[in-house]
A and B are shown apart, each in its own frame.
Chain A
Amino acid sequence: MSGPPLAWYLILSAVLFALGVAGFLFRKSIITIFMSIELMLNAVNLSFVAFSYQLKQVNGHVFAFFVMVVAAAEAAVGLAIIVTVFKNRETLNVDEVDSMKY
């Protein structure tokens, strides 16, 4: 059984990435910006796996795995930062978090 061609996955991945970029640039809430980053990482993973399937080897899977590990680390630190920011300034709006020292 043969799956859909590679181009389908790549286009899907590109659209997903563009959506992630859009969310990252458009939204104001830090949490939603974070979620957009997750979207972009997933788009990249998707194309890794698609290429890996095309080339019949699992190196792409390993790369996707590493991306997930980095995403986990990033989420842990990022969410800790979010909680700290909210504790100090009572807002999660990126436009208002504009000074280094508060």
Chain B
Amino acid sequence: MNLTKEWRTFKAVFHRNLKLFTSYNAWIVATLIWPIPLLAVNIYSYRALGTDASISSIISRDFGISNFAGMIIIGTIVYLLYNRLLWGAGVSLQSERWMGTIEALFVTPASRMTVLFACGASSVIEGAWWIGCIFAMSWMIFGVEPSIASWLAIALGILSTMVALISVGVFFASFFVLTRAADQLASALQAPIRFFSGVVFPVSALPQLLQFISYILPVTYGIQAMRKAVLTGGDVASISFELVLLYVFALVLTIAGYFTLRALETQAKRKGTLYMY
């Protein structure tokens, strides 16, 4: 592997994506408006059942999470991040199709995997803006007070979650190479992932059988790590299990993604479907 070549590819794709992303101004407004009602729907669903203190005490007693609004906000942030990175990396090849540039890109000797990781990484910038906005607005609107003991744990939690979620996007990208219908598959998975990863409730509230599904999803571990680090004063040691699993997911999905991408790209080139809208 020629690292200079990969770095050039990575930088160019990253820079291009930022340029394309910032060339549309509407996203700034969209990211400010869209997440708040999404959070409010879930938070007020809980508030309809009692006071903040009474609901938090039940959730704390049964599931060890002290702040129900914080639980929802962290879950939603990680879920939105998953969405952003899935669409950022996974759908990047579909976007090339829409822009009419996929052939131009695929006739270059640039590594597909590097292109995909760069797309994922550039989505992190957008994701970071979302995280910042949601945190700031949640604090102002819903009065959430984080309980942070280790900033390092938070930083590692965010980083590890992002790495794992970019790998999910890279894995999904191979299906976007094969078929333009892959976005329907990705869309169809959104609601189940939101449910099974416990975005607005603790996974332990699910029946045992369903929890098995939850624990094969990287989003679940990302949410758990971030809830511990932000809401319960968890340090690096207390989230180490989740961190290790997130990197295992990242490794497995990247390797699987590499081979799947190669196989499906060849298949798409045989069928001539690579360039169809």
Do they bind each other? no
Chain A: residues with CB nearer than 8 A to chain B?
Answer: none
